[in-house]
Structure 1
Amino acid sequence: MADLRFLTVTTTLMTYTGPVDDHALVTRTGGVPLVPAGFTWPRCAACSGSMQFLAQLLVNAPGGRGSEAAAVAECVLSVFMCQNEPGLCDEWDPVAGGNRALLLPRAGLTPALVPAEDETLLSETCGIDCTATDAVPYLEARSNWSQAYGRPLRDVLGQLGGVPSWLQDDETPACPSCARPMSFMAQLEEGRDHRTAMNFGGGGCGYAFACAPCKEASFLWQC
C-alpha cells in the first residue's frame, strides 16, 4: 500500500496475481466497486451515461496537513471512466467530466448496485500484488521485474505511489477544493490482455491523484 510520507524510498509495482472475487476488498482492476451507503454510480458529464468501473486501490493517506499530517487514514481509491458510444467524452481529461476518481474510507463498504445499462464493468477481474523494489524509475523497475521473474511486461499493471512516469508532459492536477497540487497515488497500465484491458487510447497509462485532507481524488490518462 502507498504511504504518501515515503513516496521516494521505493518503487512499488502492481503485478497480476490471477483472478479474484468481484467483491473482494483488495487492490484490483475490474469487478464491482465497494462503496459507502448512499453511493450514486458516476455518470458522464458529456453523454450522461453510466461510467465503467476500472480499479479499486487500497491506499494509506495522511489525514491532514502540518501537525496533523502524521495521522494516516486507510482509504480506497476507486476509478471510473466513460466507455459509452461514440467515445467522444474527453475521458482522458481530469476535469471534463468523462471520468471520476473517489477517495473513500475503507470501513463499512459494500458492493455497489451496478446499473443495468451502458458499459459499466470490465470483462475481467484481476488481483494485484504490491511488490516493493529498489528506488529506480518505474519503467526500469518494470523491466527488471519482468526479467527477474520471467514474466511478460504486461503482467505489471502499474505502480502504487512513487513518481509518475509521464508519457507526455507533467499534468499533475490541482485539488478542486484547496487548489494545491494533488499527491500522486497510482499509475495504471491498460492491462495484461488487450481483449479485456482498460482503454487509455491504445498503449496509454492512467494516473490517479488525491488530496486526502480535502477527501478529493482525480484521474487522467495519456498515450
Structure 2
Amino acid sequence: MTTLMIDSGPIDADAPVTRVGGVPLAPEGTAWPCCSSCDGPMQFLAQIVLADLDSDDGGSGSGPSAQRGVLALFACQNDPGACEDWDASSGGNRALVFPLDGLQPIPLPRPDGKDAEDADDAEEDGYGHGNAFDQDEYDHEDDDEDDDEGVLLLGATRAVGLDQEGDPDYGRARAAWAARTGNATSAVLGQLGGRPDWLQFDETPSCSSCARPMSFVAQLQEGPDPITAMNFGGGGRAYAFVCEPCAGAAFLWQC
C-alpha cells in the first residue's frame, strides 16, 4: 500500500493542514529559520500535519498521533547549491516539529534589518501576536522586497489530498493512480509514510539526540509548475524524517 500526496488545488496560505507552499505556522515568538552557512533566511517549502500519518495505517486521524503536531520544512535558496541544502546535516535546510496548539504564521523576515525594529511593527503588520494572516501583508511595495519574498516563499499554496494505491512501490503506485484517475503523474506531489523510494542510496538520518534511525514521514516531488516548484536539483525528490520521542526532525533531497 502506498499513500500518495495529491495536488488538490489552491488553498489559503496559512491553512492548518498538510500543504505545499504558503507560510509556515509555529508557536508565537518563533523566528524564521536561517541558513547556518550563509546566515540568510531559508525558503519555506511545506507543512505536514503528522496526524495524517494515521491514514497510512488505515486510521481516522483521531488516534494518539492526532497530537503529534506539524512538521515544517525549509531550505536555503539564497544561492542555490552553495549551502548544500540537499544534506540533512549541512545546516542548509531545516525540519522543525511544532505542537498543534497556538499555531500562527511566522513573521516574514524584513530586508535591511527591518525585522530588528520594535515588536509593535509585527503587530501593526497584522501577521503577529495572534492576528489573522492576511496575504496582502506579505506583498511588498518595491521590487527589491518582492525579490526577497520570492526567495522565502514558493509563490503558490497547494492543498494535499491523500489517495492510496495497493502497490507498495512508489513509482508503480504513482503510475497506477494516474492510469486509474486519468490525471497526469505530475499531480502526485509525493508520498506519505510507507518506505522512502530513494533515487540514489539509503540516507536515513539518525537522531542527533538519541542516535536512533529516524522515522520516515514523507517524500516530496518538486511540484507540477516550474515557476513555483521546489528546487531539488532538477527532477529530484526530498525526504522528511522525525524522531518523535526527541521531537527532532531532518530533511534531505536526492536527484
Answer whether TM exceeds 0.5 for this pair.
yes
- After the TM superposition, list the runs of 4 or more consecutive aligned residues in structure 1 that deviate by more than 2 angstroms: 70-74
- Report the residue type matching 1:29 in the other structure: V
> 2:253 — aligned with what?
221
* 1:30 aligned onto 2:24: no
Match of 1:209 among 241, 247, 250: 241
Q: 1:86 to 1:77 in 2, by over 3 A?
A: closer
Equivalence for 1:76: 70
> The residue matched to 1:127 in structure 2 has which SS?
strand
The runs of 5 or more residues in structure 1 that have no matched partner are 1-9, 63-69
TM-score by length of 1: 0.89
Asked if residue 110 in structure 1 is aligned to residue 104 in structure 2, the reply is yes
Among 19, 44, 48, the alignment partner of 2:39 is 48
TM-superposed deviation, 1:71: 4.7
Match of 1:120 among 136, 146, 152: 152
Q: Could you report, residue by residue, the CA deviation over 1:96-128 in whole angstroms, capped at 9, with x for unpaired residues?
A: 100000111112101110113441111111111
Distance 2:80 2:46 in 1: 23
Q: Against the structure 1 CA distance between its residues 31 and 86, is the aligned structure 2 distance closer, same or farther, given a 3 Å change threshold?
A: closer
Which position in structure 2 is the counterpart of 1:4?
Answer: none
Match of 2:13, SS state, is coil
Q: How does 1:1-223 map to 2 (within 5 A)?
A: 10-60=1-51, 71-72=64-65, 73-85=67-79, 87-117=81-111, 118=148, 119-223=151-255
TM-fit CA distance, 1:178: 0.3
Local SS of the residue matching 1:217: strand
Return the letter of the residue paired with 1:31: G
- Does the 8 Å contact 2:74/2:93 carry over to 1? yes
More helix by share: 2
Distance 2:179 2:64 in 1: 38
Summarize the Cα distance change of 1:135–1:25 in structure 2 as closer, same or farther, 3 Å threshold. same
CA distance in 1, matches of 2:43, 2:13: 14
Count matched residues.
207
Deviations 1:106-161 (A, max 9, x none): 12101110113441111111111011221421111111001111111110000110
Once the two structures are superposed, what CA deviation does each residue of 1:73-98 show, in whole Å capped at 9, x if it has no partner?
A: 33101100000026400000000100
Segments of 5+ residues of structure 2 without an aligned counterpart are 55-62, 112-147
Alpha-carbon distance in 1 for matches of 2:207, 2:89:
11
Partners of 2:238 and 2:109 lie apart in 1 by 24
Aligned mates of 2:35, 2:8 — CA distance in 1: 31
SS in 1 for 2:175: helix
Cα distance, 1:203–1:172 mapped onto 2, change above 3 Å: same
Root-mean-square deviation over aligned CA pairs: 1.6
Could you say which structure has the higher strand fraction? 1
- d(CA) in 2 for partners of 1:71, 1:128: 22
